[in-house]
Structure 1
């Protein structure tokens, strides 16, 4: 019985990622307003995004009601775009900004929107741990004062903001056309 409970707990954790202590996803969230293109302006670096610039995410509805996720970033060393396809689903309720995201089958990571501009123009996301933090915007730059506000909020949550990498986002892709 102990092994079965442990295995069941591991499966539950893989399918329903935890929300870090002290992190509170935005309530009154409208997923349909959140859909669309986002520029990643800052992140804590991880192997799946290491060295990428001009990173972006695009969210759209899938026929089954889940969210299609397309992440892309430019790898300057290789001179090519890296693209990852995934899917996301709300975990608590449709109006709470706590989602689970997968790029690798049944293994899910947390995606908790903890700060959101009133007009859905910028957001800050914390993953399943405080080692996963992203600052996003609908445009390649943030409005005046928002960067400092988000960094201070991340610090209050316990994020090591010294680890934040600010992403090059000039709005022009390496081929010269506008993205």
Structure 2
């Protein structure tokens, strides 16, 4: 009996299927993280759960043209369920996307992987948080897998000018151009 490599034993008609299966297995659970940034290290998920208003973001196709954008985070076992919602003035309708997020390192470090598209994950790096006196998080600066993705979030539809300045200065220190921010109409 002669040994033939795996791929030579597969019929040509099944070659594409096998290659696709191997690609999916190899990429399942992969997290896109091009640039690590400093993140909150005494993170408390319970204080982060709930609804956040998107105050500002860098432009990207999956939110282009949306206003009244919110993100809602709930816990389901070890998974954070993410529901993003925004209104399209052009289409006169609400758009909603449901995703899932998991901690990458530990549940007290603000670096998660989030997926809205099957097995592909992008980094969700909580670079800065502002806390109320009672410990609840009231504003957040989130960086994606690199500096092309950034969001300023708040528990209310408006953010104080002091907090806005704090976050834009932190973004500038990361090399993110404030003039490229879209200030979301709430």
1-structure distance, mates of 2:74, 2:154: 16
Question: 1:66 aligned to 2:83?
Answer: no
* 1:135-154 correspondence runs (5 A): 135-154=152-171
Matching residue within 30, 35, 39 for 1:20: 35
- Equivalent residue number for residue 6 of structure 2: none
2-structure distance, mates of 1:20, 1:118: 26
2-structure distance, mates of 1:160, 1:151: 9
TM-score by length of 1: 0.84
* 1:38-57 correspondence runs (5 A): 38-57=52-71
**Structure of greater Rg:** 2
Pairwise CA RMSD of aligned residues?
1.6
Q: 1:111-166 deviations in whole A, cap 9, x for unaligned?
A: 00001002300000000010000000000011241101110110001112221000
Is there any run of 5+ residues in structure 2 with no aligned partner, and where? 1-22
Q: By percentage of residues, which structure has more helix?
A: 2
Is there any run of 5+ residues in structure 1 with no aligned partner, and where? 1-6, 170-179
- Equivalent residue number for residue 11 of structure 1: 27
Matching residue within 87, 93, 101 for 1:88: 101
Question: 1:118 aligned to 2:135?
Answer: no
**Other structure's SS at 1:74 match:** strand
> By how many angstroms is 1:76 displaced?
0.3
